[in-house]
Structure 1
């Protein structure tokens, strides 16, 4: 096998890995969100262990429930951000850089797309979710355009909650508060794991252009 053929095979392999990761994250993320959205009331929870719960929440903000005013602005920002990420992924694949870079960036891209789907489509295809005490039915899928909101106005579904421990009351400022009280989804975890691994193991590749020069 000549060098050109080997490079072509390597490029195909990297694209296959990137595509598989993106599809896996997207499909699993949407399955989890659908099951939670259509089987739980808002703020309902399932105790898996003393430190892990499935807690159904929705937000119009950023990852881990952080607030952001203007859902459509955030969605447009996410859409714009994905474009350079895809461009970087293409460069990494074409230059045959380490497979780990392909994996990390694919996880980040997949997680971003997962939450974009919520923002773009959930308001169009789902009915509103309500807390159990309001006595409203569990949300369900409706024909396109008959949901609780408009395009770019959907709420992101979150469900993973890890209340690892509560700070002792004597601890200044943090006393009585839960350590790591963020509620997140599979897409958020994909972004975080990809970004952390990228920083820990591949930060030297952030300056590819300088290295080439």
Structure 2
């Protein structure tokens, strides 16, 4: 897989990711949802932490949320340079198409979420339950550089019902699968890692 094809894939994913996020941000109030199918809905939330809203300060109590946010964003920026080097090295060595595709997906997804974390606080005002955000508001954004929140909107409640009573421990309780809300960038990252796991031998073989 050539550098040109890798760049095209990355650009396409970034465009879809950012266009979907900006559209949701300027058209949806916070936690507004639209059901597309019984198992799929567009549900707008914002995530200022790690995966599924986890924060560094949840594990290190003496670090404030704002300091932890900057640390996390800077870590993501450093990580993206590492992924970029990995991708460049794989292309230069003419590694397998699966490996290069997987790294490209991971890179695009990571970069997509970094854009939110670095810039969205400056580019948009606050999304509230009764307020749709505005792009480049006159009064300024909702926070400083590096303090942006990641926009999530894809929710797949494939199962959302009461579990059968015969099931031990959880029978009769309400259960939702899949509960987390995510975005296109998250999908790209997950797909890339899944490719590396499922096609491990082929990915790390130079045979195309």
Same fold (TM > 0.5): yes
Runs of 4+ in 1 over 6 A off after TM superposition: none
Q: Equivalents in 2 of 1:123, 1:145: separation in Å? A: 12
Which position in structure 2 is the counterpart of 1:22?
10
SS in 1 for 2:141: coil
Q: 1:94 to 1:54 in 2, by over 3 A?
A: same
In structure 1, C-alpha distance between the alignment counterparts of 2:36 and 2:2, rounded to whole Å: 37
Match of 2:156 in 1: 162
SS at match of 2:76: helix
Q: TM-score, normalised by structure 1?
A: 0.83
- Cα distance in structure 1, aligned partners of 2:150 and 2:102: 23
Q: 1:197 matched to which residue of 2?
A: 195
Helix, strand or coil: the match of 1:178?
strand
Equivalent position to 1:130, from 123, 128, 134: 128
Instruction: Indicate the residue corresponding to 2:98 in structure 1.
Output: 100
User: What is the Cα deviation at residue 192 of structure 1?
Assistant: 0.2
Instruction: Describe the shift of the 1:35–1:206 C-alpha distance in structure 2 as closer, same or farther (beyond 3 A).
Output: same
CA distance in 1, matches of 2:26, 2:98: 36
Secondary structure in 1 matching 2:174: coil
More strand by percentage? 2
User: Bigger radius of gyration, 1 or 2?
Assistant: 1
* Inter-CA distance 79–206: structure 2 relative to 1 (3 Å threshold): farther
Q: Show CA shifts across 1:18-40 (max 9, x none).
A: 10111111111000000000001
Deviates more, 1:151-160 or 1:76-85: 76-85
Number of positions where the alignment pairs a residue of Structure 1 with one of Structure 2:
191
Secondary structure of residue in 1 paired with 2:159: coil
Q: Given the alignment, which residue of 72, 75, 86 partners 1:74?
A: 72
Alpha-carbon spacing, 1:131–1:143, altered in 2? closer, same or farther (3 Å): closer
SS in structure 2 of the partner of residue 160 of structure 1: strand
Q: Hey, what's the Cα distance between the residues in 1 that align with 2:2 and 2:88?
A: 10
Correspondence for 1:142: 136
Q: Where do 5+ consecutive residues of structure 2 fail to align?
A: 58-67
Residue 82 of structure 1: CA displacement? 1.5
The alignment yields a C-alpha RMSD, in angstroms, of 2.1
The change in CA–CA distance for 1:130 and 1:143 in structure 2 (over 3 A counts) is closer
Following TM superposition, by how much is the alpha carbon of 1:177 offset from its aligned partner in structure 2, in angstroms? 2.1
Where structure 1 has 5 or more consecutive residues not aligned to the other structure, the ranges are 1-12, 209-213
Q: TM-score, normalised by structure 2?
A: 0.85
Contact 2:26 2:134 in 1 (8 A): yes
